[in-house]
């Protein structure tokens, strides 16, 4: 849907901008009190206290946790931050949006939170500066692109997309309109993951030979074959489906969409979005990617293997990580002088003393932030790119998709990380993108 | 547009910018082969089903397939598609046969499957069959999925033909597909559709933008001029796409014209900003000038776009231009430009950036300080120290971060030299900066600062040494501690502790301290060293503490007791009990009792019955109500019937009643599934005399929980978790551990499993909550009393794999990795009259780890008369 034309210049007042840039928004003002103004160059109104006005699109489990706190979300969520004012929620599922609306209203002690079935109505609200997008994966690209066109900054849960083309399209839209987009690969805002990558990038394990990622593979994901059931009255099923092929409603399909190929790349993009992202970070490939992807062949290649132009390898090998690091879900880097393994809550090094290494100011320091939401907010203020900027995330999720494509074709594929295209492979090209169900499109 | 123009655009199946239909000419030549050759080739290659009619049978089955039916036929055909891809002739033949299904009256479900499979193998030969679905509202999309990246001009022609035969959503889908295929021959039709209703117009504009070229550009520019309302941003976006196409084809001036049009568009600031960025790319020679102009537009989106240009435009001249402009910008522009110059990283901007550290505007000062952290050098140290020790919190924080980030070989030395004078708060900032910078080479200088006249400087120095000192400096640091001032001792001890812990083993960690302890004359020295040894732990330290337990000085003895009470294992349990019984000093006795209770709960491997016995003993040692409260607090963590009884016994004491209620309810919540009758009796006592409404409410909740289990078995004990080497959960499934090995099972320590805390899943046996971890296995056991011998169905659910034994006989196994749901498996079992044993083995991959079980009649009805009980 086209964004509404703006008749008012999208300007920000000096006072509003400077308060935000200085991080002063938390210090003042009664709440809520909104007056029309324009904020940071985006259409809409902004609170005089310079709070960032936010809408939440997709407020199921993860969306609610991102909004209000819970597992795998910074404590208290966006709603728990004084710099943020959540004013609207949207979800095709009425139960989800009613629940989220109640949470917001209870938090603020009022009844001001608007609730929308269709996210496009929320996007049309001019005063909304930023979005939390936690829809199903299939919706991430469409909502992110529409948000960029509407000039809104986005915190979008991972994975960015279901295809490579979608991820690149999101990146193009965000760059075109100069918005901020932070993807929810929050391991980038974790000390242990950052430090592990800093050890690798600063040569503490010598020349990097291999990164080993432990995530689930493509097994267990397929096209949905569940029988049809009556569509419940609390769900706008057509909108819920969005860009994916129509099929009859089934409650298990809606409740377990992550197990179905139209909606998801399975564990390769679910946990893969996190751990392949860290592998890319540690290998220094945030602006590049592998040149060859080789699926296991039952002979000499036992595990999914990526080859980079500098000779480094990246493998998906949970058994090896378990064997060597005692952990079945994480990342390990091996080099000529040592190893670093990292997962949620723990980092291990060989030799052990590397874990206590302190980096000097003259060494490479990676993007530092210890709270993924804070990092997003800082970027909204400074207009700099956040730690999980869409440019980085698009590259990382491409690695995940490339793995899935190699698995699906059951043969190696070559990739040009500069052009971001397969090398002379019309069959793989057919899996580079997919048509969206009309009227949705990239 | 002709096809030559399109070669610069990636098209369907196009990785290199060459149109797929051209590049795919070679594979397409295979179409000329007689189809009949196909099957013969397949047989020869051994790639086809052993019997050709097996494929025909599968396709016949497919035609009547409906969602929900056995998907074996789908899996079979999907596997054939995978195998066929390797051999073009096989792939072509299979594609043709599959496509034929689309032209039958096969069910929607079957046709959907066929379309998906054709995505990777269909050729132009199958395109007509797919195109036949384009008018079908539900199947059109799936047909387009197969067509969108299929090479071949005939595909374009079929799509263009369908364009005129469709309307609404189906037509819009085709429009987007033509755009995605970059079909220049479709432009004429698309341009006509630009006069259609808004939704169609928008789709046609987007598609035309993707196709690009002069014709598309002119049509979109005309539309931009005439369009109004909500459609204009869409047209603007399509124009920007078109400009990108022009640039990719080398038509920079054509792209620049489009971008300039949008850059000048009043009232569309976001498009103006995008236009500016496009213009800078299309006319790079003007980019700096354009960005510099836009930077002046205070608060506008194009000012942000200009700031992005500062990050991206190359060259020292650009840095100089933007840096010179800084002073004349408004505050918003200054903040944006400072942030961008910092990210640009060109130190040539340092003088102008540094100047803004003195701006009257706080936000500008902050942005300047952050940029100095990136661009600064030795000369920035003094300025940053001034801001770090003055100004508001945010400014100090920014200056400190900048001091930490400054790069250059001489920064640490410059900072260390500045320690010689100045105000105390400046010295603190320097020390903190050296610590954050990891400046270990300055540790000698820092040791000197522990004797500074200002307390805050000394403390900062101790903290810095804690962070920076290597293990080899431990003797010198212990010396600092022992010679230092009494008021600094806490901080000095933390320093020594942190560095001592760097030792490779217990001997290394304690050697220096034990050496100094042996020669310590002063009681205060012994106190300090013993306190440190207590925190380091290990056998040597424990020996030293025990030896000091008879020290002449009460303060030393108290330190020993405190250290033992806080010991990291339950090893000093007997020492503490002896101290309590001895009762020489009341403070010491109380510390010992508190430690004794703590250590009972510390040993997770202790059998629950032993823990119960120790708590009973502790209750006997407690001489007054406060001490008994301490025991109740520890007891509340235990999950045994004995603990419930012991806590319940104190309900009668009016002084202890509130704590007793809390303990009883906590224990009851944990054991109610295992001992429902006894729990009910205790709950009744709580309800009878509850003082606090909260206690009554909780008692009622536990009573309610007892009703929520239904016929799911709720009385369970769980074993410890087992692992073996590197074995993953699916390997552990087949490895027998003590609970399933008769000669070892008696030694297993079993614990009561508390009921689920999830009210939606009262049946959940939550091993993750009880044991946690990944890649492991544990066992659950219970006993079930049956009024008669009977054949029943054991309904099981598990996360992840599960094995089940009834009366010692293995009755089921599923080495799964999955999420739990009730009745994932239904196992026929025979129960004997009287007591039956049920043992479950549940594997854990990652995340959830649980099981559930109940018995049902073969017809699914509930079973009367069964009851479960732990052993």
Name the token pair of B618. Answer: 């502790």
Q: Hey, which CATH number is domain B717-869, 3.40.50, 1.10.3470, 3.90.870, 2.60.120? A: 2.60.120
Choose from A72, A426, A432 for mutation: most chain B CBs within 10 A: A426
Residue B830: its H or E element = strand B825-831
Inter-residue contact B846 to B852 (CB < 8 Å): no
The confidence score (pLDDT) of residue B324 equals 96
* pLDDT tens string B222-277: 999 999 888 999 999 999 999 999 999 999 999 999 999 999 998 888 899 999 99
Start-end of CATH 3.40.50.720 domains in chain A:
14-187
Question: Are B120 and A323 an interchain contact pair (Cβ–Cβ within 8 Å)?
Answer: no
* pLDDT tens string A261-271: 999 999 999 99
Signed CA dihedral, B273, B277, B283, B286: sign only: positive
Question: Are B274 and A245 an interchain contact pair (Cβ–Cβ within 8 Å)?
Answer: no
Kindly report the average pLDDT of chain B as a whole number.
90
Residues of B in contact with A228 (CB under 8 A): 67-68
At B183, is the secondary structure helix, strand, or coil? coil
What does the pLDDT average to over A406-427?
A: 96
Task: Give the number of beta-carbon pairs within 8 Å between A and B.
Answer: 258
At B717, is the secondary structure helix, strand, or coil? strand
* pLDDT tens string B526-575: 999 999 999 999 999 999 999 999 999 999 999 999 999 999 999 999 99
* Phi, psi (deg, nearest 5) at residue A105: -65, -40
Name the token pair of B41. Answer: 């080739």
Residues of B in contact with A39 (CB under 8 A): none
Given the structure tokens 């083993």, which residue do they identify? B505
Question: Are B141 and A435 an interchain contact pair (Cβ–Cβ within 8 Å)?
Answer: yes
The confidence score (pLDDT) of residue A16 equals 52
Given the structure tokens 């499109």, which residue do they identify? A441
**Distances, alpha carbon A386 to alpha carbons A170, B326, B409, B573, in Å:** 15, 24, 29, 52
The confidence score (pLDDT) of residue B39 equals 52
The confidence score (pLDDT) of residue A36 equals 25
In sequence order, what are the beta bridge partners of B107?
Answer: none
Residue whose C-alpha is closest to residue B257's, from B267, B248, B246, B271 = B246
At B84, is the secondary structure helix, strand, or coil? helix
Question: Are B274 and A359 an interchain contact pair (Cβ–Cβ within 8 Å)?
Answer: no
What does the pLDDT average to over A312-324?
A: 95
Inter-residue contact A269 to A400 (CB < 8 Å): yes
Give the domain A188-219+267-429 fold: Dihydrodipicolinate Reductase; domain 2 (3.30.360)
Residue whose C-alpha is closest to residue B515's, from B547, B544, B535, B486 = B544
Residue whose C-alpha is closest to residue A66's, from A56, B278, B561, B440 = A56
Choose from B17, B124, B140, B141 for mutation: most chain A CBs within 10 A: B141
Q: Does domain A14-187 have CATH number 3.40.630.10?
A: no
Start-end of CATH 3.30.360.10 domains in chain A:
188-219+267-429
* pLDDT tens string A138-186: 999 999 999 999 999 999 999 999 999 999 999 999 999 999 999 999 9
Residues of A in contact with B339 (CB under 8 A): 382-384
**Of residues B203, B270, B409, nearest to A151 (C-beta):** B270
DSSP B316-365: HHHHHHHHHHGGGS-HHHHHHHHHHHHHHT-GGGHHHHHHGGG-SSHHHH
**Of residues B66, B145, B336, nearest to A435 (C-beta):** B145
Question: Are A429 and B149 an interchain contact pair (Cβ–Cβ within 8 Å)?
Answer: yes
**CB-based contact, B170 to chain A, within 8 Å:** yes
Peptide bond preceding B800 in cis form (omega within 30 of 0): yes
Inter-residue contact B767 to B842 (CB < 8 Å): yes
Helices assigned H by DSSP within B227-297: 231-248, 252-263, 269-282, 284-295
The b-or-e profile of A323-334 (16+ CB within 10 A means b, else e) is: ebbbbbbbbbbb
Kindly indicate the confidence band of residue A13, based on its pLDDT and cuts at 50, 70 and 90.
Answer: low
Question: Are B299 and A12 an interchain contact pair (Cβ–Cβ within 8 Å)?
Answer: yes
- CB atoms < 10 A from the CB of B93, how many? 23
The confidence score (pLDDT) of residue B3 equals 33
Q: Is the pLDDT of residue A245 over 50?
A: yes
Min distance A149 CA to chain B CA atoms (Å): 8
Instruction: Return the residue of B nearest to A71 by Cα.
Output: B847
Give 10-residue mean pLDDT values along chain B (871 residues): 33 38 35 42 48 83 92 92 91 95 95 96 97 95 96 96 96 98 97 94 98 96 91 96 97 96 90 93 93 91 89 92 96 93 95 96 93 96 93 92 93 93 91 95 95 96 96 96 94 97 94 96 95 96 96 95 96 95 90 95 87 93 91 92 94 91 94 93 89 87 91 96 85 94 94 89 93 92 96 95 96 89 93 97 89 96 93 84
Distance CA B459, CA B181 (A): 69
Residue whose C-alpha is closest to residue B148's, from A434, A172, A327, A212 = A434
Choose from A50, A430, A436 for mutation: most chain B CBs within 10 A: A430
**Of residues A38, A356, A441, nearest to B206 (C-beta):** A441
The DSSP symbol for B712 reads B
The confidence score (pLDDT) of residue B757 equals 82
The b-or-e profile of B506-541 (16+ CB within 10 A means b, else e) is: eeebbbbbbebbeebeeeebbbbbbbbbbbbbbebb
């Amino acid at each position: 849907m086209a964004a509404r034309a703006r008749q008012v210049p999208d300007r920000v007042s000096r006072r509003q901008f400077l308060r935000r840039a200085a991080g002063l928004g938390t210090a003042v003002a009664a709440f809520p009190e909104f007056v029309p103004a324009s904020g940071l160059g985006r259409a809409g109104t902004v609170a005089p206290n310079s709070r960032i006005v936010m809408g939440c699109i997709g407020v199921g489990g993860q969306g609610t946790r991102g909004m209000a706190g819970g597992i795998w979300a910074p404590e208290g969520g966006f709603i728990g931050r004084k710099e943020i004012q959540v004013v609207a929620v949207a979800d095709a599922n009425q139960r989800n949006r009613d629940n989220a609306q109640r949470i917001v209203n209870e938090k603020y002690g009022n009844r001001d939170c608007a609730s929308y079935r269709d996210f496009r109505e929320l996007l049309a609200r001019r005063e909304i500066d930023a979005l939390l997008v936690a829809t199903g994966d299939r919706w991430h690209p469409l909502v992110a692109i529409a948000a960029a066109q509407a000039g809104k900054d986005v915190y979008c849960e991972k994975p960015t997309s279901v295809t490579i083309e979608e991820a690149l399209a999101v990146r193009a839209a965000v760059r075109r309109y100069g918005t901020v987009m932070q993807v929810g690969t929050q391991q980038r805002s974790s000390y242990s993951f950052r430090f592990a990558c800093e050890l690798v990038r600063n040569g503490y394990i010598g020349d990097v030979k291999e990164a080993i990622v432990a995530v689930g593979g493509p097994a267990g994901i397929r096209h949905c074959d569940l029988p049809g059931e009556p569509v419940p009255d609390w769900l706008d099923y057509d909108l819920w489906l969005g860009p994916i092929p129509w099929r009859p409603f089934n409650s298990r399909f809606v409740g377990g969409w992550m197990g179905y190929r139209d909606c998801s790349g399975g564990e390769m993009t679910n946990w893969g979005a996190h751990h392949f992202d860290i592998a890319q970070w540690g290998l220094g490939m945030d602006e590049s990617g592998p040149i060859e992807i080789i699926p296991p062949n039952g002979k000499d290649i036992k595990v999914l293997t990526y080859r980079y132009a500098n000779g480094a390898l990246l493998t998906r090998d949970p058994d090896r990580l378990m064997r060597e690091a005692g952990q079945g879900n994480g990342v390990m880097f091996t080099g000529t002088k040592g190893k670093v393994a990292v997962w949620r809550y723990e980092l291990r090094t060989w030799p052990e003393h590397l874990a206590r290494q302190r980096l000097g100011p003259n060494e490479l320091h990676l993007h530092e932030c210890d709270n993924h939401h804070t990092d997003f907010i800082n970027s909204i203020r400074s207009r700099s790119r956040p730690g999980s900027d869409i440019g980085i995330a698009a590259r990382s999720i491409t690695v995940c998709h490339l793995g899935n494509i190699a698995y699906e074709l059951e043969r190696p594929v070559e990739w040009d990380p500069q052009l971001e295209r397969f090398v002379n492979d019309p069959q793989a090209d057919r899996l580079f993108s997919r048509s969206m169900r009309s009227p949705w499109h990239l | 547009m002709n096809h030559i123009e399109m070669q610069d655009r990636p098209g369907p199946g196009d990785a290199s910018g060459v149109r797929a239909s051209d590049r795919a000419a070679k594979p397409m030549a295979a179409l000329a082969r007689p189809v009949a050759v196909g099957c013969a080739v397949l047989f020869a290659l051994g790639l086809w089903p052993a019997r050709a009619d097996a494929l025909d049978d599968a396709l016949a089955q497919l035609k009547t397939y409906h969602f929900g039916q056995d998907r074996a036929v789908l899996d079979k055909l999907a596997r054939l598609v995978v195998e066929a891809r390797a051999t073009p002739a096989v792939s072509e033949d299979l594609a043709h046969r599959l496509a034929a299904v689309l032209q039958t009256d096969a069910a929607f479900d079957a046709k959907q499957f066929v379309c998906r499979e054709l995505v990777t193998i269909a050729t132009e030969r199958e395109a007509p069959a797919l195109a036949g679905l384009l008018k079908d509202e539900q199947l059109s999309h799936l047909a387009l999925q197969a067509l969108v990246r299929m090479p071949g001009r005939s595909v374009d022609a079929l799509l263009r033909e369908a364009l005129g035969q469709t309307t609404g959503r189906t037509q819009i889908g085709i429009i987007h597909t033509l755009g995605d295929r970059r079909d220049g021959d479709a432009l004429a039709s698309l341009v006509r559709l630009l006069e259609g209703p808004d939704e169609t117009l928008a789709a046609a504009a987007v598609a035309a933008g993707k196709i690009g070229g002069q014709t598309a550009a002119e049509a979109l520019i005309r539309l931009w001029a005439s369009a109004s309302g909500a459609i204009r941003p869409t047209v603007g976006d399509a124009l920007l796409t078109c400009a990108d196409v022009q640039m990719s084809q080398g038509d920079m001036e054509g792209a620049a014209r489009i971008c300039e049009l949008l850059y000048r568009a009043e009232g569309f600031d976001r498009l103006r900003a995008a236009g500016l960025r496009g213009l800078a790319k299309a006319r790079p020679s003007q980019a700096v000038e354009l960005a510099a102009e836009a930077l002046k537009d205070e608060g506008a989106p194009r000012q942000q776009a200009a700031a992005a240009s500062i990050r991206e435009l190359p060259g020292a001249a650009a840095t100089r231009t933007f840096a010179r402009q800084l002073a004349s910008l408004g505050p918003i522009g200054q903040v944006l430009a400072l942030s961008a110059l910092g990210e640009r990283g060109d130190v040539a901007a340092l003088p102008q950036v540094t100047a803004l550290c003195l701006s009257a505007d706080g936000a500008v000062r902050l942005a300047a300080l952050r940029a100095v952290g990136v661009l600064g050098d030795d000369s920035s140290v003094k300025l940053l120290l001034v801001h770090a020790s003055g100004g508001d919190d945010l400014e100090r924080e920014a200056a400190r971060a900048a001091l930490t980030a400054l790069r250059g070989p001489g920064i640490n030395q410059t900072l260390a030299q500045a320690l010689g004078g100045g105000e105390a708060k400046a010295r603190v900032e320097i020390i903190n900066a050296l610590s954050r910078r990891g400046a270990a080479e300055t540790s000698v200088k820092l040791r000197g600062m522990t004797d500074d006249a200002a307390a805050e400087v000394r403390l900062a120095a101790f903290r810095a040494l804690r962070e920076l000192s290597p293990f080899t400096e431990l003797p010198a640091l212990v010396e600092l501690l022992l010679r230092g001032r009494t008021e600094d001792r806490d901080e000095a001890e933390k320093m020594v502790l942190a560095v001592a812990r760097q030792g490779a083993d217990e001997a290394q960690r304690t050697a220096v301290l034990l050496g100094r302890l042996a020669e310590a004359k002063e009681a205060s020295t012994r106190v300090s060293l013993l306190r440190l040894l207590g925190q380091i732990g290990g056998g040597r330290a424990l020996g030293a503490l025990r030896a000091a337990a008879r020290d002449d000085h009460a303060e030393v003895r108290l330190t020993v007791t405190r250290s033992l009470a806080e010991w990291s294992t339950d090893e000093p349990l007997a020492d503490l009990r002896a101290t309590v019984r001895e009762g020489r000093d009341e403070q010491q006795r109380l510390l010992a009792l508190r430690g004794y209770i703590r250590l009972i709960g510390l040993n997770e491997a202790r059998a629950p019955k032993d823990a119960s016995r120790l708590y009973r003993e502790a209750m006997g040692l407690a001489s007054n109500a406060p001490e008994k409260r301490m025991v109740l607090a520890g007891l509340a963590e235990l999950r045994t019937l004995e603990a419930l009884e012991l806590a319940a016994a104190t309900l009668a004491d009016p002084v202890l009643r509130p704590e007793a209620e809390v303990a009883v309810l906590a224990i009851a919540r944990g054991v109610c599934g295992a001992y429902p009758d006894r729990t009910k009796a205790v709950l009744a006592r709580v309800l009878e005399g509850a003082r606090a409404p909260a206690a009554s409410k909780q008692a009622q909740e536990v009573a309610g929980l007892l009703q929520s289990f239904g016929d799911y078995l709720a009385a369970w004990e769980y074993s410890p978790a087992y692992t073996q080497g590197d074995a993953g959960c699916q390997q552990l499934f087949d490895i027998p551990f003590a609970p399933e090995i008769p000669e070892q099972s008696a030694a297993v320590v079993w614990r009561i499993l508390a009921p689920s805390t999830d009210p939606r899943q009262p049946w959940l046996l939550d091993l993750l909550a009880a044991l946690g971890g990944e890649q492991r296995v544990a066992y659950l056991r219970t006993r079930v009393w049956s009024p008669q011998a009977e054949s029943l169905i054991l309904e099981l659910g598990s996360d992840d794999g599960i094995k089940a034994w009834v009366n010692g006989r293995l009755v089921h196994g599923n080495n799964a990795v999955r999420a739990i749901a009730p009745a994932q498996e239904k196992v026929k079992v025979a129960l004997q009259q009287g007591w039956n044993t049920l043992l479950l083995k549940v594997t854990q991959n990652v995340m959830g780890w649980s099981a559930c079980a109940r018995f049902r009649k073969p017809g699914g009805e509930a079973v009367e008369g069964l009851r479960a009980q732990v052993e």
